[in-house]
Structure 1
């Protein structure tokens, strides 16, 4: 569910929303931090969350910080987290519900960041509120929709969430409100977006792209070449998972 076995091309075709969000993260980092283009700096200044400016009517700043990041590592670890934890929900919820849930959680996190200190003038950016919202949906499944998530994956979510929240309180320069209320936003919207959801099945979307329909047999490919490719994909995704865990420990969200 969280360890990817798709090739890069299969991933892009099967999870277009996650792919698009990650592409936006990295594109904005390139023009803001890597090339330091004037338009990039203008986008950052226009879109970063600043409570005092929100208080003065710039309400778009409740949304735009979700796709902006403060540096490469910030963008990478949030993107890795989205790549690991987003695909299953994109398939289970569908594209529209996934977008709604993701941005709803991010907006709730930013809204309560504003409510807690409306006159603050420091900027805040990052997708971590939205990503914690995904954890909220998964935790809701673990408690109330057990048929949608197995026990092992439920334990993975609970463990990572607990570690992340503990480190949020221990580290400085962390928008703790975005983490807490982003999670609460995801948990709150979960019963709505999970209506008619089906358990994650990695082969269901792949069968469509392979032209096999419901009769697609994931075991039809035999031989060393296919098995070696699958092993390589697993190694890549496990390494990405390790990087995300490292990010959680070092609070790079």
Structure 2
């Protein structure tokens, strides 16, 4: 099972520097936001960089594009933060090793951005007149799940059976959870997972071409 973590704290930091940095940034930014106000307040979240769209005036959130990134490091409450950081702590390290740290950092950010973009697109399609505010690392984390889904389906030899079953279980549970729990952005999860699946496919093909060259 590749998702079991046996490393010491020091070894974890050394082996997975980007994942460690991402967890630290999420926690630090949450503390900054929580100390200065209510993280669950829409106005307060918007002030600190939440992803925001308005179907009439800014349907894709492009007026302030930095929100596509800043929102990935924000959370609406301590439970939201802990849930996502646990997922990052456990599931991200194997992917960081597979991609290498630099490539993985870009991969993570792109999946988070894609999650926000998918959420904005669906919001426009549905014609929701209300402004959309989104925060959380879930889109990026589902991008990690998307990569392992690709590996589970097309590179089975790289994952043991228990790890593959874990990937399927997490994704099924995640979809059900996204439907049942209010205020969970299902489409951000879908966008992140889809981006992760396709991005890993690109990386995998590039790696195959280098080996055969």
TM-score, normalised by the number of residues in structure 2? 0.84
Partner of 2:29: 28
State which of 43, 51, 69 in structure 2 corresponds to 1:63. Answer: 69
Question: Once the 2 structures are TM-superposed, how far is the Cα of residue 182 of structure 1 from its aligned partner?
Answer: 0.9
- Structure 1 gap segments, 5+ residues each: 198-253
**Is the contact between residue 46 and residue 52 of structure 2 (CA under 8 Å) also seen in structure 1?**
no
Partner of 1:145: 155
Alignment size in residue pairs? 194
**Which one has the largest radius of gyration?**
1
Q: d(CA) in 1 for partners of 2:154 and 2:44?
A: 44
Task: Say yes or no: does 1:188 pair with 2:194.
Answer: no
- Structure 2 gap segments, 5+ residues each: 38-42, 209-213
Q: d(CA) in 2 for partners of 1:70 and 1:43?
A: 8
Q: d(CA) in 1 for partners of 2:139 and 2:61?
A: 20
Question: Once the 2 structures are TM-superposed, how far is the Cα of residue 46 of structure 1 from its aligned partner?
Answer: 4.1
Decide whether aligned partners of structure 1 residues 64 and 120 sit closer, same or farther in structure 2, where only a CA change above 3 A counts: farther
Decide whether aligned partners of structure 1 residues 43 and 124 sit closer, same or farther in structure 2, where only a CA change above 3 A counts: closer
State which of 78, 86, 96 in structure 1 corresponds to 2:84. Answer: 78
TM-score, normalised by the number of residues in structure 1? 0.71
Partner of 2:4: 3
